[in-house]
Amino acid sequence: KAGVTQTPRYLIKTRGQQVTLSCSPISGHRSVSWYQQTPGQGLQFLFEYFSETQRNKGNFPGRFSGRQFSNSRSEMNVSTLELGDSALYLCASSLVMTVNEQFFGPGTRLTVL
């Protein structure tokens, strides 16, 4: 069974640009969560999607958005990039939304110059 895949793995952007990251969950998984990891703030929850609907949201500005498609694949978008958005963005999938094991992807390393 293939694991969670994230594309691209590495990305370099400049301030003011926007970026879209993609996550393909494990086959059959319907819940997808996104996290941001930085050396200073650690792992921070961005949002969670289930059945194409955002179910939970962390404390991030509106520049961070996401969506989920009918096949459970998810994308997150960051508009008007700032230097502080440089981070590892992790996607995690699970079968359902209730408490259970989450499977994390390898992440997308975003560098904003």
With CB under 8 A as the contact rule, the residue among 78, 92, 110, 112 that binds other proteins is 92
Coil, helix or strand for 48? strand
Kindly state the DSSP code that residue 15 receives in the 8-state scheme: T
Please give the distance of CA 98 from its chain centroid, rounded to a whole number.
19
Contact status: 20 vs other proteins (CB under 8 A) = no
27-66 residues in contact with other proteins (CB under 8 A) are: 31, 33, 35, 42-45, 48, 55-56, 58
Q: Which two tokens stand for residue 23?
A: 């996550």
Contact status: 108 vs other proteins (CB under 8 A) = no
Spatial distance between the Cα atoms of 88 and 111, rounded to a whole number of angstroms: 9
Contacts to other proteins by CB under 8 A: 4, 31, 33, 35, 42-45, 48, 55-56, 58, 90, 92, 94, 97-107
